[in-house]
Amino acid sequence: MVRLDQFIAASTPLSRKDAKRAIGAGRVRVNGVPCKLANTKLRADVTVTLDGQACAVPGERYLMLNKPAGVVSATRDSEHPIALDLLPAELAVGLHIAGRLDADTTGLLLLTTDGQWSHRITSPRVECPKTYLVSLSDDLSESAIQLLEEGVALRNDPQPTRPARVRVRQPRLIELTISEGRYHQVKRMLAAVGNHVDALHRLRIGAIRLDPGLEPGQFRMLTPEEVDSVGQVSVRSARSAGP
């Protein structure tokens, strides 16, 4: 059995918080009867509507999650909490992660049941841009910015990185857009230019931005427009448009 607010969040683009608001406002009916209790437990045979439209968990599922620190981007781990633990059990079935994050990195995590869709995010051939908010130990010099935007050599890696895009927000806070997914890449790139990453938070994958209404640990379904955007944005257009 699943809670009503969890079901609404899983079957619509609404976040968990917005689902609770919709339920409290009387917009949700269960078997035709208005229900204003978000914690109502649903049986498998009930019909749920939002504003008169039937709700159902889609066959292919596409979600965004605001990953908190300390959560592992894995489908199973015997020692640490995993991202799927933050979802209702019935929604998590069959999901995999499209673009993992380190345990101490926070922010946008995409999960789906659609293997071809996630391949368009993770395949090196696609060059899907990913934007991170990076807190640094030291100010980033102009020469370091130039190196990052030209491509830098990483330790124990024969190939330099692809050109990145740097946007300085504050002296020790930058947005970094890259189009690869090498091991600890952002941390290694900043180390290569003589700096150190204190905190890392992913803001965007392709054209999909982390919903600012999602608190750490919260999730929502992607909108059809967000789903369709995958594969349409190249790193070159991301550089010209900005993060």
Q: Greatest CA separation found in the chain? A: 65
Residue 80: CB atoms within 10 Å: 11
Regarding beta strands 106-112 and 62-67, do their DSSP bridges make them parallel or antiparallel, or are they unpaired? antiparallel
Token pair belonging to 9: 């969040």
CATH number given to 2-54: 3.10.290.10
Per-residue model confidence (pLDDT) at position 234:
42
From the candidate CATH numbers 3.60.15.10, 3.30.70.1560, 3.40.50.800, 3.40.50.300, the one assigned to the domain spanning 130-205: 3.30.70.1560
- Helix 4-11 and helix 16-24: axis angle, to 10°? 120
Q: Using a cut of 0.85, tell me whether the model's pTM lies above it.
A: no
Please report where in the chains the tokens 């970094």 appear, as a residue.
176
For residue 191, what is the enclosing H or E element? Answer: helix 185-192
Q: Which fold has domain 62-124+212-231?
A: Alpha-Beta Plaits (3.30.70)
Burial (CB < 10 A; 0-12, 13-18, 19+), residue 115, is exposed
CA distance 182 to 87: 27
Average pLDDT over residues 226-242: 57
CA distance 161 to 177: 12
Per-residue model confidence (pLDDT) at position 232:
59
Token pair belonging to 81: 């909490």
Contact between 134 and 196 (Cβ < 8 Å):
no
Average pLDDT over residues 202-207: 96
Residue 6: CB atoms within 10 Å: 20
Span(s) in the chain for CATH 3.10.290.10? 2-54
Query: Which amino acid would we find at residue 97?
Result: I
Active site residues: 102
pLDDT at 38 over 90: yes
Per-residue model confidence (pLDDT) at position 61:
87
CA 95: distance to chain centroid? 14
Span(s) in the chain for CATH 3.30.70.580? 62-124+212-231
Residue of 191, 178, 68, 182 whose CA lies nearest to 137: 191
Task: Report pLDDT digits (tens) over 52-109.
Answer: 998 877 678 899 999 999 999 987 777 889 999 898 776 787 899 998 999 999 999 9
Span(s) in the chain for CATH 3.30.70.1560? 130-205
